A and B are shown apart, each in its own frame.
Chain A
Amino acid sequence: MAELSTPTSTPVAAVLETPLWQVRLRLLLRGIKTNVGLFAENPIGLVGLGIIFLFFILMVAHPIMMKTVWDPNIYNPVTGYDPALVAHPSPPSATHLLGTDPLGRDVLSQLMWSTRAAFSLGIIAALVTVFIATTVGAVSAYFGGLVDTLFMRLADLIIMTPTITILIVLAALLDLGTIHLAVIIGMLSGFGGATIIIKSQALTIKVRTYIEAARVAGGGNAHIILRHIIPNLMPLSFLYMMFSVTSAIAIEAVLSFFGLLNIRMSWGLMIYTTSFAGYLMDLKKWWLIFPASISITMLCAAFYLVGRALDEVVNPRLRKR
């Protein structure tokens, strides 16, 4: 911008006297404001955000409850046991708001504790996905040629593999924990479908005039990719982050439902414990299966709803006006 200023016109010079970062910050804030406005127009996105916030509160509340109200020996989500009750699983009562599971552990405490695993898994997987997809998409769109062919064949290969199936095989043969799983899911979707979509967006950005202007001004490849292409890919990447959170949480739930993961507690594992103890079809003991299943569904749906609302922000053709 500085090159374009003409010293003769005073108003432009006055604007330029404010440092460049302030101008950038103001532009950024204005952009965010418009987009937040567009996002807030859509009640679906707000509902999604509300659900995510609710689970966030559950997650934060758990350690506080353990410190203040709940006795760690009874309410520990993994090792707790309530000796005061004779039969487990016991129905919801004043001491156990959602009852206890077949091993005598408090279901509410398990539910709240598992929120942390779900959030961390989803967010790590999404960050890995977006980091890989944005970098690979931008680089292969910008350079084309051999790099492009290589990454696109890899993406074809990954699209061809059914994710859940391959993860079941891996989880059955290896010892997978939450973090490993998150990174593997992130890599699978990052090098797979997300790359192709982000690359096609990067291809349309690559031919814009400001890229040519940057090159004429002497910008190197790294500068153009980092400062011009990737920032313009960010909205789309952010959108895909939401969708990959959804799929990561769902995949983790399925795998731990089959009892294939080496984790201490998660929503899927709660259902696995229920089915392992033989209570899967016993709907009179609803507290064993409903809270965990509904939590999985609701958190997945919430991220998906936010993603859809963002889709309408990023993709103007879907908007009502």
Chain B
Amino acid sequence: MRRYLIRRIAQNILTFFLFLTAVYLLLDAQPGDFGDLYLADPRLTPQQRAVLRANLGLDRPVIERYAIWLRNFFKGDLGISFSNYPRKVMDVILERAPRTIILFTSATILAYYVGFVMGKILAWKRGGLLEYLTTVTGVGLYTVFLPWFALMMVWFFAFTLGLFPIGKFLDPVLWRASPVDANYVFHRMLLTASISAIVLMVWVIFAQRLNPAQRRPAVWLGTGIILAGILLYWSSTGVGRYAADILHHLILPILTLATVNFAGVMLLTRNSMLETLREDYIMAARAKGLTEKSVRDKHASRNAMLPVATSFVLALAFVLDGGVITETIFSWPGMGLTLLDAAQRQDVPMVTGALVFTGVLALTAHLLADILYAFLDPRIRYS
């Protein structure tokens, strides 16, 4: 098992290097380089242009430029973005990435929780109207044209009902008098969210040791205490209403993404459950006289969870894919919008940076999936 993990880690790192190379070469192979854009001034003589090109290092062979880029990459320097001049690419990524990650992590967690619960109920009640109805709804949501669906959500919840703002990250009018900038508040929010998530997780693990009757009240109590703590902290900082503004802008995108993603999870869970239900231990559990609910929740669904858990981790790797569409519709200034903007303006350093960011994210997710697989299913033997 340890050998397997070490081999997988080595393989993943190798793949990441291949990815870096592929991204660099792909963008280098585009017609014209960014020197053409930079030196587009018609008053420059050819000699001046050649000197400037040499100064930029654009006359060197691809291999040499790649080596320089790679060295800079490991120093954490991805160059300067053209479309956000004079900001550094790394700077832009560090600002935008958390916004994308928080949006997608919350949406994915919500989608997987609801999808898993729905999927296991669906697999239990085969046949009948319910199955066709949910399958058709599920497939409809799974294949829906996301820009259109997001627009409909905006139209209904934001435009008609006026429950949420129509887009953007914050409300500029409210923030005009703000004592601190948005990043400060947002980073505090991220910190609060991660600390409370960890505390909650520890609490839930602790609650599992209690006897079954006390578990549920204990979890609810813990959640309540944590929520009260968060409210107390934010009301004491004095910037609570700015944080509430960002949260208010966050709800509709999360809701949209979760609605679209949950369908796929539901269908996957259903298929996985149907395969699990054929196993002998399900029949054994029933023969023991366990209740249907107990068989479903403790015997079937835990074993059916394996592919769902893997797909959850891998879904986190693809935040940028869905991000481009959702962030465009909601004008959410995250990595997806940045990438689309940079690609349309031929901002090669920014595009490279965004792709590398995705690569890092995907690499981490794949490693996590491998480790998770090894721990969740002891039946799989690794040689």
Contacts and interface: CB of A to CB of B under 8 A. Distances in A.
Contacts of A301: 139-140, 142-143
Contact of A246 (B143, B147, B339): B143
Interface string A255-290: 001101000000000010000000011010000010
A157 B18 contact: yes
B195 to A, nearest CB: 30
B284 interface: no
A304 B267 CA distance: 12
A59 interface: no
Given A44-B132, A162-B358, A289-B148, A318 B271 contact: yes
* Chain B CB within 10 A, most for which of A164, A165, A305: A165
> Is chain A's interface secondary structure helix, strand, loop, or mixed overall?
helix
Given A162-B318, A305-B139, A318-B271, A168 B355 contact: no
Contacts of A160: 15-16, 19, 317, 359, 362-363, 366
A165 B126 contact: no
Given A160-B19, A250-B143, A320-B127, A165 B321 contact: yes
Interface in B182-197: none
A253 B145 CA distance: 8
Interface stretch (B68-76, B89-97, B343-351): B343-351
A268 to B, nearest CB: 8
B145 A250 contact: yes
Interface stretch (B151-159, B207-215, B227-235): B151-159
> Is chain B's interface secondary structure helix, strand, loop, or mixed overall?
helix
Interface in B12-57: 12, 14-16, 18-19, 22, 26-27, 30-31
A254 interface: yes
B173 to A, nearest CB: 21
A258 B344 CA distance: 10
A301 B26 CA distance: 33
A154 B21 CA distance: 13
Given A153-B14, A160-B359, A254 B147 contact: yes
Interface stretch (A78-86, A135-143, A217-225, A292-300): A292-300
A24 interface: no
Contacts of B318: 162
A281 B12 CA distance: 44
A280 B11 CA distance: 46
Contact of B154 (A163, A281, A317): A281
B143 A297 contact: yes
B19 A161 contact: yes
B339 A168 contact: yes
Contact of B344 (A172, A289, A317, A320): A172
Nearest to A170: B26
Nearest to B18: A157
A163 B321 contact: yes
Interface residues on A, range: 35 or more
A43 interface: yes
Contact of B151 (A258, A289, A304, A318): A289
A281 B358 contact: no
Given A157-B22, A297-B145, A297-B148, A165 B27 contact: no
Contacts of A253: 145
Contacts of B31: 173-174
Interface of B: 11-12, 14-16, 18-19, 22, 26-27, 30-31, 126-127, 132, 135-136, 139-140, 142-148, 151, 154-155, 159, 271, 274-275, 278, 317-318, 320-321, 324-325, 328, 336, 339-340, 343-344, 346, 351, 354-355, 358-359, 362-363, 366
Given A157-B22, A161-B362, A165-B355, 12 more contacts: A44-B132, A44-B135, A160-B317, A165-B336, A165-B339, A168-B324, A169-B26, A170-B26, A246-B143, A260-B344, A281-B154, A308-B139
16 contacts: A44-B132, A44-B136, A157-B22, A162-B321, A162-B358, A164-B325, A166-B26, A166-B355, A173-B27, A254-B146, A260-B344, A271-B148, A281-B151, A293-B148, A297-B140, A317-B278
Interface of A: 43-44, 153, 156-157, 159-166, 168-170, 172-174, 246, 250, 253-254, 257-258, 260, 271, 280-281, 283, 289, 293, 296-297, 300-301, 304-305, 308, 317-318, 320
